[in-house]
Amino acid sequence: MTLYLSALARRLPMVLVIGAVAALSACATPPSDPAARAEFEATNDPLEPMNRKIFDVNLFLDRYLIKPVAQGYRNVFPQFSRDAMRNFLNNLGEPVIFANDMMQGEWAIANLSAARFFINSTFGVGGLIDFAGKTGVPRQTGDFGQTLYAWGAPEGFYLVLPIFGPSNPRDAIGMGVDGVMDPFGYLAGAYGVANTVTISRMAASGVDLRSRNIETLDDLQRNAIDFYAELRSLFRQHRASDLRHGRSAPLPNLDSGDSKS
């Protein structure tokens, strides 16, 4: 399981994502111990017993399936071909990033995504080369979970999705919406290969992402006192940065209005 594999769930049908969230919520049993209950509330992780079980299953799948495949992928394919695959997959995601940034009112960022898609699809040989990045047009973030955040929707509780890992209800719903928005899904559907293309993209993205984080996650797991809690914290920090498009967090308002002269 890679730290941010949950992002790959964007291609899942929305109904399945929402159904999974509802099912997990129904199965949640908050602990009765007051200290444990306070800890769950402090970490916004009321589903922790269920989440940890799913987390353990994800670790099992990673140990015996995902990680070995990622290691084989890295051993068989040279760096330049893996970079080309990653660039190609990233380029396919640019239209969804553009659409979400537009819905967030992030016009300048949306323009960068549109420029990247045009440049990489043409001069980058269909996206195999990140020509835009080499010329100073960096890749942006933009997903419907982020859009919901911009619209003021709360994230809800922490949620571990099977296979895809760390998430929350807002992002899980956003993943489904992104899958519906993906224009390449409709294009593949016109040729009757939508499911094959979707699964292939998810698998390729997951293997590529995992292959780039083998040592990092091994070190994290080896040194962490509680690997589950460590990933939960890192996911939230990374996601908070994404939601703000990398901008610094706003400073708290210290002017409470009750200061005395």
Q: Which has more pLDDT, 8 or 54?
A: 54
pLDDT at 251: 62
pLDDT average, residue stretch 115-138: 96
How far is 127 from 146, CA to CA, in rounded Å?
24
Residue 71 lies in a domain: yes
Residue 104 lies in a domain: yes
Q: Across the chain, what does the average pLDDT equal?
A: 86
Residue 32 lies in a domain: no
Model pTM above 0.85:
no
pLDDT at 10: 40
Q: Measured in whole angstroms, how far is the alpha carbon of residue 163 from the centre of its chain?
A: 12
Residue 33 lies in a domain: no
Domain extent at residue 76: 18-27+42-243
Which DSSP symbol is given to 176?
H
Q: Number of folded domains in the chain?
A: 1
Q: Is the pLDDT of residue 258 over 60?
A: no
Q: Which has more pLDDT, 13 or 173?
A: 173
Residues 211, 73 contacting (CB under 8 angstroms): yes
List, in order, residues 6 or more apart from 143 with CB less than 8 Å away: 7, 10, 96, 97, 100, 171, 174, 175, 178
Q: Is the pLDDT of residue 190 over 50?
A: yes
- Confidence tier at 198 by pLDDT (50, 70, 90): confident
pLDDT at 248: 77
Residue 257 lies in a domain: no
Assigned token pair, 64: 């015996």
Residue 13 lies in a domain: no
Residues 62, 1 contacting (CB under 8 angstroms): yes
Q: Is the pLDDT of residue 28 over 70?
A: no
List, in order, residues 6 or more apart from 191 with CB less than 8 Å away: none
- Confidence tier at 43 by pLDDT (50, 70, 90): confident
pLDDT at 34: 73
| C-alpha closest to that of 10 among 186, 139, 201 | 201
How far is 161 from 140, CA to CA, in rounded Å?
24
pLDDT at 129: 97
pLDDT at 24: 45
* Collapsed DSSP state (helix, strand, coil) of residue 149: helix
Taking each helix axis from N to C terminus, what angle separates 79-92 and 94-103, rounded to the nearest 10 degrees?
40
pLDDT at 197: 87
Q: Is the pLDDT of residue 126 over 80?
A: yes
pLDDT at 254: 53
Residue 92 lies in a domain: yes
